[in-house]
Chains A and B, each alone.
Chain A
């Protein structure tokens, strides 16, 4: 073979081996590319998702929860986020329509890839959301969910945690705190002309948590010797209470206990005053859920003072970010935050602390932390039991006095004495 032919053969060899190397290199590069593409992306943020009624009948409540939730997210991000990642909040408008909840939560989980969820507003809305969360094994922190029915089915190890559901008073705290207060009337009564008369007129909205609370409270109260002189449910769309109030006027109870949405509390009190219906103690459970209560344009004005109400954000409470929330909310919105805002903000505090303690966004790790650790929030101290209810929250009874809500019960938490009888 000539030298030329030998060289040709050598080049062919080089081309053959070189081609093989290039082919291997290309294959390796392609393989790496496929690996990178299919590898789960490293998330640069923690996504929190949920729905709220931003339009429709409960829009005021939903918008206020959202305001405070956004405030919490912004503050945490300003402080550097959680585990070095910023928080991103996605909230869809569910218009308080249960049939929209499921698809929206599917979207949040499957499309928006949220890491942790917050509940819609109210227990009836929470159920469809929790069904979806359970399917995807996601953790959900409750905002404003007062009924314990969701916790019984989905709570604790099933992924649902509600810091505004207390134990051991369980689900009747909206009612029993006031009958508890009056059961001890003789101990704290400072007006000797008044004697306790255990007669109560109870009016409730015909919806899940109102019915639930009532069903737990009523036998307790009757066992304590309370006489139900009136016990009625009204439709959630009702705005005229004249006939029911007329019956109360006939029965003259010592305690009027009404559990309505805030705006119906406004209407009810106005109609009570108009009809001359009153009692020494008047409890309108949700009169304390907004400082609009004593606003003459949005609420009842000064006649709202003297009304007893559940007190979800006692003015002396200093836990968590409560002082920041009070100051910042007032700066931004010109008013003191109340129940809805506080529960919204505190759900983000719990998420922040749980993720930090778990060091992970994995549901199992979060669940373990939520079931074992304590949390300090602007709403209350939190320790979840196995059903995801809070064993550390002690509800307090409030009363509107001088345009603020004073804590009047239990005595160890009281910031003022109860004022009675109610006189508009």
Chain B
């Protein structure tokens, strides 16, 4: 009985970690390729989740089917944000990172407050027909939404790995490694930037929907998601998609085991201690070997 309970703890930790991984992947992609820290990342995730929510409530469209509409929409929104808001703000390279903090923070405030005005501060749950359906495998019980979170994360991760091997994906990886050299090789950075931001926003929307499916949704939660995603991004190595995926899962398991063994009060303490230790021992993150900061 006890080992089954511990196994359940680990499985649920993987689910929590998976949701954070998904959020961190998009963030690390754009920071690696574009040197832009998108503080509005969590709020874009929340926006995607809200669209899924209203599709469910008004049109009774299942959240996963709703993603077929939300993902392209959020891609377009992300592309538009990069083209019309980020791009003009980060035109001077030596101030790019600082400018990106300020402009994306403003964007985060704008999105969350528009959500507040439009949809009030009421807490929302993505409650679907199978929200309380549970499956038992080898004595470990997991409910359908959590299983869906794990499955979607695996699928999206696989898609990411495939994508990074495409021409466009290789271009993004090149920009992550050395943007100047990539530009010299003829990569059109402006087109790339819009596309990268679009992918990031689309991935964020998926992560946001999965988060709302498992927990709850309200306008102010976006910044908390961003903080979590940034932590996972740093932990995994800036610019490393694989690192973000691994780091999210590792962080989720660590937090769960600490809570189970020591107590919930120490959860955040241990998580951040782990982050500090990793940064001291391996500042480039648990996966990535080196990261070149812009001069």
Residues of A participating in the B interface, judged by any CB pair closer than 8 Å? 55-57, 59-60, 62-63, 203, 206, 232-235, 237-244, 246-247, 249-250, 262-263, 266-267, 270, 273-276, 292, 296-301, 303, 424
Contacts and interface: CB of A to CB of B under 8 A. Distances in A.
Contacts of A296: 125, 127
B12 interface: yes
Interface string B104-143: 0000000001001000111111010001101000000101
A299 B6 CA distance: 28
13 contacts: A55-B219, A57-B218, A59-B218, A60-B122, A237-B268, A239-B216, A243-B260, A244-B264, A246-B6, A250-B2, A250-B5, A274-B143, A292-B122
B127 A297 contact: yes
Interface string B211-226: 0000110111000100
A321 to B, nearest CB: 25
B218 A263 contact: yes
Nearest to A249: B5
Interface string B1-21: 110011011001100100000
A249 B257 CA distance: 16
B263 interface: yes
Given A60-B120, A243-B257, A298-B124, 19 more contacts: A55-B113, A55-B220, A60-B218, A233-B264, A235-B268, A238-B267, A240-B12, A242-B13, A242-B256, A243-B259, A244-B260, A246-B5, A246-B9, A262-B123, A270-B131, A274-B134, A275-B8, A275-B12, A297-B125
Give me the 3 closest cross-chain CB pairs, A-B, nearest first.
Answer: A59-B121, A243-B259, A242-B12
B123 A263 contact: yes
A269 to B, nearest CB: 11
Contact of B123 (A234, A292, A301): A292
Given A276-B141, A297-B125, A56 B146 contact: no
Contacts of A266: 123, 125, 216
Nearest to B133: A274
Interface residues of B, number: 41
Among A234, A242, A249, A267, residue most surrounded by chain B Cβ atoms (within 10 Å): A242
A274 B146 contact: yes
A262 B122 CA distance: 11
Contacts of B91: none
Contacts of A240: 12, 16, 215, 255-256
A56 B12 CA distance: 28
Contact of A63 (B5, B121, B257): B121
Contacts of A55: 113, 116, 121, 219-220
Interface string B262-275: 01110110000000
